[in-house]
Structure 1
Amino acid sequence: MFKKILIANRGEIACRVIKTARKMGIATVAVYSDADRNALHVEMADEAVHIGPAQANQSYIVIDKVMEAIRQTGAEAVHPGYGFLSENPKFAEALEAEGVAFIGPPKGAIEAMGDKITSKKLADEAGVSTVPGVMGLIDDAEEAVRISSGIGYPVMIKASAGGGGKGMRIAWNDEEAREGFQSSKNEAASSFGDDRIFIEKFVTQPRHIEIQVLADQHGNCIYLGERECSIQRRNQKVIEEAPSPFLDAETRKAMGEQAVALAQAVGYTSAGTVEFIVDGEKNFYFLEMNTRLQVEHPVTELITGIDLVEQMIRVAAGEKLALAQDDVKLEGWAIESRLYAEDPYRKFLPSIGRLTRYRPPEEIASPERVVRNDTGVFEGGEISMYYDPMIAKLCTWAPTRADAIEGMRQALDGFEVEGIGHNLPFLSAVMEHPKFVAGDMTTAFIAEEWPEGFAGETLAADALRRVVAAAAAMHRVAEIRRTRISGRMDNHERKVGADWIVTVQGERHVVTIDADREGATVRFEDGTEHRVVGDWTPGRPLARMTVDGAPLTLKIGKITGGFRIRTRGADLRLHIRSPRQAELAARMPEKEPPDTSRMLLCPMPGLLMKVDVEEGMEVQEGQALCTVEAMKMENILRAERTAVVAKINAGPGDSLAVDDVIMEFE
């Protein structure tokens, strides 16, 4: 077995590999860029080597710099994680020439299956059903338009070396094909150092289901069940689960055997994933093979009990698989939610900055329940604009899917993140959605269910009443603290008052609080009562309460006259006033928001790549105005109405902050 391995990656996956290596007694080496000097993976590793500037194409994907780090430290093997150099055959070749083991498949398998164009050709030759498309490389945008219109819209424009949603665009017409080709090409060059593009038919209403395979160097290959990855946004997975709520045992076996046959046909070893598009009739079509560890591998680990990183290391060391196909048992249900540094209230645009608060839920591992959080950040750390926006993967396991979903709801409610925009409320909203709960989903789920974007959830009447009851009880506690009264003497308690009016979501709730030493009974105007118990104290940002015996976790922020409360995807402002205060508040005028309709504001921190208009030019609704790059993704900003450009305040190469004025209109 290896004594020392180097992890050629960063963030949560580097931390993940270090954990398994430590468990196996293997020393680890981290590499880091300028931006990651104080990163968690650097702190966790036994050694760390600086390899260059913040930009990935000057550090993490420069083979020579990684090879020099290997020589400096004497690492015997390299785990590439995912992204960066994980599917680069030149890197595998360089390692082989150096006599260093690659913890991944052989170079030939990477070339055969890691390249999407080649893999689709091989699959087609092997008789595997593939999605219609043009496998040849596309030279320019006009050729992309001709091919797209020939296949028939919609089409998927994809980077040959792509992954993780990078270098991918869906085009519904000629103009989108033209723009999508160029953006995909640019993103592919920036993220992978390979700008080759191909086009295929975009199958509407598909499910994205993938099979995990594991193969050794002695001809043994098995599959470890499937993962349902249909909850996606912009082709980037958001929530995954294992097993799929859609597949039956017969289809699972057929997909698994086909995935194994394909892997063996190309001499594959290590962990890999064969991805399929599955239609409503359970027909499945080969999409691509990822010749690396997948981001969502934890859900497979949770239902099989198999540490995939450990297996990859053992295979690379020449060991035989200790498992046969009959030994693989799928137990219970696992769900993974990806925590992204992106603001769902601003169309999911990237967010950067300092994590002023980062408190994941407690990790649990018991026969009844598992909570696992794979992360690469820490409280006080910086979220950089240079890398992928994913900062953690929250996973839950339970014996049933319903219990795994409920476990995820509670874990998300208790996950505290402040200082940056993040998608925790959106993840909670998905967990509450009836279609998701029913397992009724396609890759279009997010686009169909939130067509206008995410603006927060509106709680159902019964759920809202539980929150109102808890907030009223907490307000009473805060008022007692404020007036410096202990709350135990009846003659003093009356000074705080029992009658309150709570306004939230445009509703007015009149409540009366009857408190005792164990909790409080909150009575509503219609006579219904809720029993609230909890040990929340003023100033604590998280309240773990029970209402009528059921748990309720609330993120608490103080606002004038009440609380900002976040729970189950809702972001609520509750004002809690005495009857007299409520009467006076009703007479206060509302503050009008500033008029920014004549400005183009930068919606995210990023780099201005291109300006498509000039001062004095008339622009039409939907016309591209400029392109901003953030976290390896290009974002085209468009005109919201017909206008004339009066002034342009920034140019290509400028770094922009949120709400910087890029241009003004007449």
Structure 2
Amino acid sequence: MKILFIGSRLFDDVEPYIRNKDITSIVTESNKNADNLDLADEVFIGPRGMVFPYNVAIEQNVSGIVPLIGIDPPLVDVASMKEKIEEEYGIPVASSCVKPVRIAANKSKTKELYNSIGLNTPESVYLKKEDLDNFEDMIHSKGFDYPVVLKQNAGQGGKDISIVEDFEGVKKYFEEFDEGLCENFIEGAEISIETVGWKDNYYTFVPVYKGDTSVNGSHPITRVRYGPANIDGLDNEEVRQTALKIAKTLKIEGNMDLDFIFDRKAKKLYSIEANTRPSGTRYLTFAITNVNPLHKLVDMVTGEFDVNKIANEVENHYCAEVPVGTFEGEIPEKTYNNDYIVHGPVGYQRVTVRADSVDELIKKVKDITGKDIEIHN
């Protein structure tokens, strides 16, 4: 069986999984110097976009396609390619179709979806620069006040997001942008959860904690993150069921990452964003459950995807993910045979550590990274 993987950057996440399977791995890349090319059985270098991998898939007579793309801009093109090649050649592609991708890629459309299915989401208004004279009346009419969150409809990883505490901050934001989404700032715990879906079957994994919101706007990637998200008042099963409801409504396929904020004072869960791509918290999910969501993408195109099997595979561990800059120790293969995984580019590396108790986790993090951490609710 031949499987085409689009993009090599994440290929080292799946290569250990397919190594002993009857799978010939083909990777398409636009960068001849990209990481992990040496791990594939065959490599094809070509131009950016989906036309090249589409043609390679047909020429090589592959049995399935797994896009390993962790950024948003190419996702609509991937979805269009999926619809075309599945319809014309019957080659399954482990990704979502165009409609859910377009909704997830647009923060305003995502909020409309959440409102339509009765989920809590922060109050908001969509502004154009010419609306600024009426800005405060607009937000007050929606029942909120400063601080506010300003963001663009498209973007990921905290890009183009500002938390401002007065009208001067709003005006400064709109010096750069002509329009934007303004949301009520929710103070609380940032939560993520991953979901995989295929042919109307879905599995939601476990909520992980990414730190608390702050008017200073520190990005989750700079914080210690851990899981499961054992936060006082938070019902993890509510998070899972909310994720499942979103996945079913969107009819996602492949992988989806969902972001929430849990208001600690009001004990209220707010749905924030959806991302139809591999998650930045996938190593936390993998550490806690011993199931790598990217491995399930392979199962989708080989006909082995089974949510009951996933449920039986899931284990229960504790984990923490620590920013280290450049890791000085041994960098193992991306499995948990050594109880930790190092990931990210040099200078911005993170170490995800797994253990069977909180006390053991704190000790392991200290032994492996040299850092002291606190795990709290």
TM-score (norm 1): 0.48
Task: Give the alignment of 1:488-567 within 5 angstroms.
Answer: none
Deviations 1:318-376 (A, max 9, x none): 544142686475512011224558xxxxxxxxxxxxxxxx7443549789x71222356
Counterpart in the other structure of 1:40? 35
Q: Distance in 2 between matches of 1:289 and 1:326?
A: 23
1:16 to 1, 13, 17: 13
- RMSD over aligned Cα, in angstroms? 3.3
Q: What is residue 268 of structure 1 aligned with on the other side?
A: 252
Query: Quick check: 1:215 aligned with 2:214?
Result: no
Q: Does 1:235 align with 2:233?
A: no
Q: Which residue of 1 aligns with 2:82?
A: 95
Paired residues of 1:371 and 1:396 also in contact (CA < 8 A): yes
Residue of 357, 360, 376 corresponding to 1:403: 360
Provide closer, same or farther for how the CA distance between residues 366 and 277 of structure 1 changes in structure 2, counting only shifts above 3 A. Answer: closer
* Partner Cα distance (2:305, 2:351) in 1: 31
- Aligned-residue offset at 1:72: 7.0
Query: In 2 relative to 1, CA 27–362 (structure 1 residues): closer, same or farther, beyond 3 Å?
Result: closer
What secondary structure does 1:131 align onto?
Answer: coil
Structure (1/2) with the larger helix percentage: 2
CA distance in 2: counterparts of 1:181 and 1:317, whole angstroms: 48
- Match for residue 130 of structure 1? 121
Structure 2 distance, partners of 1:22, 1:320, is: 18
Q: Among residues 104, 111, 118, which one is paired with 1:120 in the alignment?
A: 111
For 1:363-374, list aligned pairs within 5 A: 363=332, 370-374=339-343
Bigger Rg, which one: 1
Range with bigger deviation, 94-103 or 292-301: 94-103
Following TM superposition, by how much is the alpha carbon of 1:126 offset from its aligned partner in structure 2, in angstroms? 0.8
Deviations 1:143-163 (A, max 9, x none): 467547742322222232322
- Match of residue 3 from structure 2: 4
CA gap of 1:407–1:114, structure 2 versus 1, over 3 A, is same
Does the C-alpha gap of structure 1 residues 46 and 337 become closer, same or farther in structure 2, counting only changes over 3 Å?
farther
State the SS of the aligned residue for 2:271. Answer: strand
AA aligned to 2:65 is A
- Determine if contact 2:66/2:298 at 8 Å carries over to the other structure: no
Q: Distance in 2 between matches of 1:172 and 1:405?
A: 36
Q: How does 1:568-607 map to 2 (within 5 A)?
A: none
Alignment CA distance shift 1:165-1:21 (3 Å): farther
1:228 partner amino acid: Y
Amino acid at match of 1:202: F
| C-alpha separation in 2, matches of 1:305 and 1:67 | 32
Does the 8 A contact of 1:169 with 1:234 survive in 2? no
Task: Summarize deviations over 1:459-489 as a string: whole Å, max 9, x none.
Answer: xxxxxxxxxxxxxxxxxxxxxxxxxxxxxxx
- For 2:52 and 2:160, locate their aligned partners in 1 and report how far apart those are by CA, in whole Å: 25
After TM superposition, the score normalised by the length of structure 2 is: 0.81
SS in 1 for 2:235: helix
**CA displacement 1:10-37 (0-9 Å, x = unmatched):** 54x343244444454341314143xxx4
CA contact (8 A) 2:26 2:41 kept: yes
Cα distance in 2 for partners of 1:121, 1:279 equals 21
Aligned to 2:170: 177
Letter in 2 for 1:374: H
Distance 1:102 1:128 in 2: 30
Report sequence identity in percent. Answer: 16
| In 2: Cα distance, 1:47 partner to 1:339 partner | 34
Do the aligned partners of 1:276 and 1:285 also contact (CA within 8 Å) in 2? yes
**SS at 1:361's partner residue?**
coil
SS at match of 2:278: coil
- Report the CA distance between 1:306 and its aligned residue: 1.2
Count of aligned pairs between the two proteins? 360
Provide the rounded CA distance (Å) in 1 between the counterparts of 2:40 and 2:207: 32
Counterpart CA distance in 2 for 1:331 and 1:310 is: 18
Per-residue deviation at 1:294?
Answer: 0.5
Helix, strand or coil for the counterpart of 2:155? Answer: strand
Whether contact under 8 Å (1:18, 1:28) holds in the other structure is: no
Q: 1:216 to 1:71 in 2, by over 3 A?
A: closer
| 2: CA distance, partners of 1:181 / 1:65 | 39
Counterpart residue number, 2:230 = 245
Higher RCO (CA < 8 A, seq sep 6+): 2
How far off is 1:84 after superposition?
A: 4.4
Q: How far 1:224 moved relative to its partner?
A: 1.4
* Gap runs ≥5 in structure 1: 53-58, 186-195, 342-357, 378-388, 414-427, 441-666
Secondary structure at the counterpart of residue 156 of structure 1: strand
Structure 1 counterpart SS, 2:108: helix
Tell me, in whole angstroms, the C-alpha distance in 1 between the residues paired with 2:12 and 2:193.
Answer: 24
Letter in 1 for 2:12: C
Alignment partner, residue 96 of structure 2: 105
- Tell whether the 8 Å contact from 2:4 to 2:28 is kept in structure 1 after alignment: no
Q: Distance in 1 between matches of 2:361 and 2:243?
A: 27
* SS of structure 2 residue aligned to 1:264: helix
Q: How does 1:52-91 map to 2 (within 5 A)?
A: 59=48, 62-64=49-51, 67=54, 76-85=64-73, 88-91=75-78
Structure 2 runs not aligned, ≥5 long: 140-144
CA 1:177–1:330 in 2, change beyond 3 Å: closer, same or farther?
Answer: farther
Note the C-alpha offset of 1:93: 0.8
Aligned to 2:142: none
3-state SS of 1:95 partner? helix
1:574 is matched with: none
Residues 1:225 and 2:162 aligned together: no
